[in-house]
Amino acid sequence: MSIRVYYEDTDAGGIVFYANYLKFFERARTEWLRELGFEQDKLMEQSLGFVVKRVEMHNHAPARFNELLRIRTELVHCKGASLLFKQIIIGSQDNTVADAEIRVASVNVNTLKPTRVPADILGEMKRVD
């Protein structure tokens, strides 16, 4: 997945504001899920949502205005209501901009309580692994 760095993503330091990498990671997880065949607006109608429980992010090098970034998303582990992703942002010089381990819980969107990842989604996730 490619992401262009626009003005909105940068700050007065001239580089991407660190919180915005979490936006990029979220976009990439959404596209990853879409490629598996699941649209999150449809899942929400079935009361299924995802919330991030833990982030460990390392920022290796700044990304700059107008740079074209690539993001790799890998599901490391999935059990019950818990998903563990590894994600990497790669800069236009093939350098690692940031990498992260992100733990996500699948929840009922109304109660925000954990709920098992449905079997069809789990099946697709395991298939691509």
Asked if 14 touches a second copy (CB under 8 A), the answer is yes
Asked if 17 touches a second copy (CB under 8 A), the answer is yes
Question: HSE (CB half, 13 Å, CA atoms) of 44?
Answer: 6
Beta strands in the chain (DSSP E): 2-4, 48-59, 68-79, 82-90, 96-108
For residue 104, what are its two tokens? 């996500």
Question: In the complex, what is the shortest distance from the CB of residue 7 to a second copy, in angstroms, rounded to a whole number?
Answer: 4
Catalytic annotation present for 11: yes
Residues in Cβ contact with 13 at an 8 Å cutoff, skipping those fewer than 6 apart: none
Q: Which of 2, 35, 36, 51 binds a second copy (CB under 8 A)?
A: 51
The residues annotated as belonging to the active site are: 11
Residues lying near a second copy in the complex (CB under 8 A) are found at 4, 6-8, 10-15, 17-20, 22-23, 26-27, 30, 39-41, 44, 49, 51-59, 62, 64-67, 109, 112
